[in-house]
Amino acid sequence: FPILLIKKLSSSIRIYIDYHSRGINNTILKIYYPLLLIKRILNAIYKVKIFTKLNIFIAFNRIRIYERYK
């Protein structure tokens, strides 16, 4: 069971589990969504009056999880 216990600067302990070696990646259902061609995207937004850009890369780890599910 590949588990690492790492001591943090605050003297608390963080648990790391190596899911890769446990084969979890092979059991997850993979759903692929094809990306649109850039040319089609640019044609779709050409002459639009309102354009919105969302960057959710940083927000990924900020999703709140209920304590009972942690």
pLDDT at position 1 is 54
Task: Tell whether pTM > 0.85.
Answer: no
Task: Give the start-to-end residue ranges of the domains of the chain.
Answer: 3-69
Could you read off the pLDDT of 4-61 as tens digits, one per residue?
Answer: 888 988 889 998 887 776 677 777 778 887 877 888 888 888 888 877 777 777 666 6
Nearest one of 23, 4, 26 to 14, comparing CA atoms: 4
Beta strands in the chain (DSSP E): 3-7, 13-17
